[in-house]
């Protein structure tokens, strides 16, 4: 019997080593350890062994069974590992092939991106967002902003008229008047929107976008205007951008300023984009004219404020290096798809 058991062990060892895949190994397992396997067969013969040898034989048989199982297990591990390796090798792909879905991404319009960026910055300063009508009364677009009929300041903006009293708004500023005639301070609001000027040449579009800003409250100063707008420029362009304020004129602000930022291309050294000046004009602003406050029903003796208007196209052209304002309205997918 002992020889028989030894034989099984050595045969099992040979068979296991000879297995080249897990399927063959399973066959070996069945052959030796299965229900009708060789170990089971010998187990059945254990009855014919003399009684005194029985424990030793039993023990020996068990040890062989355990040894076979261990061999099987370790072989199985090796084989499984090899098979997994083989599978991975077989599943090798060319990672440089194109993915079919990458082109399917959509885009929001660059003007939307810039508009939202501007709005987000002012939300951080506690501003609200409001929108107003594009077809506007002469009253709100001009008169309440200190531009009476036939005033020379009307030449500053070429206006589209619907009739004598209704115009396409030439700026987002009428919302200043709409807000001030309907709310009391403190007011902090930005107003994004389309505006219209009857001006169509290489550098002008008859439609463009502005973001208007208005802050009215107690003790709001020109210093606040410069501080807020400088912080805005730093966030929009770069933390190290420089700002410069120059005197200007808008009928509804006094004093009025233009804000320049140091050229984002040459950092102030002078280049083609900034026409060698080192500065880029980015927005107009000013202290709300007390005349406007009073016309809108806000007591200029108690309250003061500042207002500003940002040209969205101008900022987008600077930020993205868009050479021509008309590109925003052509809607060529090859242009639009760049703004992911």
Question: Within positions 296 to 335, which residues make up the interface with other proteins, using CB under 8 A?
Answer: 304, 328-334
Q: Is 130 in the site for other proteins (CB under 8 A)?
A: yes
Helix axes 54-90, 2-18, angle to 10 degrees: 0
Find where tokens 């809108």 sit.
296
The gap from C-alpha 116 to its chain's centroid, in whole angstroms, comes to 11
Overall size of the chain counted in residues: 340
Residues of span 12-71 touching other proteins by CB under 8 A: none
User: Residue 148 is encoded by which pair of tokens?
Assistant: 């009476």
Among 153, 266, 271, 322, binds other proteins (CB under 8 A): 153
**Can you tell me which of 1, 22, 109, 183 binds other proteins, judged by CB under 8 A?**
109
Structure tokens at 98: 């194109």
Cβ nearer to other proteins, comparing 74 with 198: 198
**Least spacing, CB of residue 288 vs other proteins, in Å:** 9
- Please list every residue from 195 through 254 that binds other proteins, using CB under 8 A: 196, 198, 200, 206-207, 215, 217-224, 226-228, 230-231, 244-249, 251, 254
Q: Which stretch binds other proteins (CB under 8 A): 47-55, 148-156, 175-183, 261-269?
A: 148-156
Comparing CB distances to other proteins, the nearer of 66 and 108 is: 108
Helix (H, G, I), strand (E, B) or coil at 296: coil
Pairs from 67-74 (Cβ < 8 Å, separation ≥ 24): 67/9, 68/9, 68/12, 68/16, 68/32, 68/33, 68/39, 69/33, 71/12, 71/13, 71/16, 72/16, 72/25, 72/28, 72/29, 72/33
Placement of tokens 């506007």 in the chain: 136
Q: Shortest gap between Cβ of 339 and other proteins (angstroms)?
A: 9
Of positions 57, 287, 307, 316, contacts other proteins by CB under 8 A: 287
Three-state secondary structure call for residue 98: coil
Q: Which stretch binds other proteins (CB under 8 A): 30-38, 75-83, 85-93, 284-292?
A: 284-292
Q: Across the chain, which distance is largest between two alpha carbons, in Å?
A: 130
Q: Which of 44, 51, 87, 104 binds other proteins (CB under 8 A)?
A: 104
User: Which one among 106, 182, 240, 272 touches other proteins, defined by CB under 8 A?
Assistant: 106
CA angle 168, 173, 174 (to 5 degrees): 60
CB 91 within 8 A of CB 55: no
String of b and e for 212-232 (b: at least 16 CB within 10 Å)? Answer: bbbbbeeebeeebbbebbbeb
Q: How many residues bind other proteins (CB under 8 A)?
A: 87
Could you tell me the sign of the dihedral formed by the alpha carbons of 312, 226, 218, 254, in that order? negative
Window 165-204: residues binding other proteins (CB under 8 A): 166, 168, 185-188, 194, 196, 198, 200
From 33, 60, 156, 273, residue interacting with other proteins (rule: CB under 8 A)? 156
Q: Strands 187-196, 207-217: parallel, antiparallel or unpaired by DSSP?
A: antiparallel
User: Which position among 49, 69, 290, 326 is part of the footprint of other proteins (CB under 8 A)?
Assistant: 290
Which of 34, 60, 69, 128: binder of other proteins (CB under 8 A)?
Answer: 128
Rounded least distance, CB 204 to other proteins, Å: 11
Least Å from the CB of residue 282 to other proteins: 15
* 20: its two tokens: 């080249």
Q: Residue 171 CB, nearest distance to other proteins (Å)?
A: 15
For the bound state, the minimum distance from the C-beta of residue 49 to other proteins, rounded and expressed in Å, comes to 54
């Amino acid at each position: 019997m002992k020889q028989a058991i030894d034989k099984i062990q050595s045969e099992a060892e040979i068979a296991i080593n000879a297995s080249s895949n897990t399927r063959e190994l399973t066959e070996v397992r069945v052959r030796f350890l299965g229900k009708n396997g060789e170990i089971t067969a010998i187990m059945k013969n254990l009855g014919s062994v003399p009684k005194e040898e029985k424990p030793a034989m039993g023990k020996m048989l068990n040890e062989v069974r355990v040894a076979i199982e261990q061999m099987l297990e370790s072989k199985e591990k090796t084989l499984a590992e090899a098979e997994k390796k083989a599978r991975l090798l077989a599943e090798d792909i060319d990672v440089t092939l194109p993915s079919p879905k990458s082109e399917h991404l959509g885009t929001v319009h660059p003007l939307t991106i810039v508009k939202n960026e501007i709005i987000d910055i002012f939300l951080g300063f506690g501003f609200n967002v409001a929108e107003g009508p594009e077809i506007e009364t002469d009253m709100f677009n001009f008169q309440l902003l200190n531009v009476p009929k036939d005033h020379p300041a009307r030449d500053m903006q070429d206006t589209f008229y619907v009739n004598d009293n209704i115009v396409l708004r030439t700026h987002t500023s009428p919302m200043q008047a709409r807000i001030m005639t309907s709310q009391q301070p403190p007011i902090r609001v930005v107003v994004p929107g389309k505006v219209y000027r009857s001006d169509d040449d290489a550098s002008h579009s008859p439609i463009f976008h502005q973001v208007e800003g208005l802050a009215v409250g107690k003790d709001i100063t020109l210093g606040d205007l410069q501080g807020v707008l400088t912080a805005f420029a730093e966030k929009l362009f770069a933390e190290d951008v420089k700002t410069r304020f120059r005197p200007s004129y808008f009928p509804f602000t006094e004093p009025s300023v233009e804000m320049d930022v140091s050229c984002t291309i040459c950092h102030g050294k002078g280049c083609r984009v900034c026409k060698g000046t080192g500065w880029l004009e980015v927005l107009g602003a000013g202290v709300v004219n007390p005349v406007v406050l009073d016309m809108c029903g806000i007591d200029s003796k108690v309250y003061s404020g500042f207002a500003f208007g940002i040209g969205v196209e101008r900022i987008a052209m600077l930020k993205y290096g868009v050479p021509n304002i008309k590109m925003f309205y052509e809607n060529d997918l090859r242009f639009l798809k760049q703004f992911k």
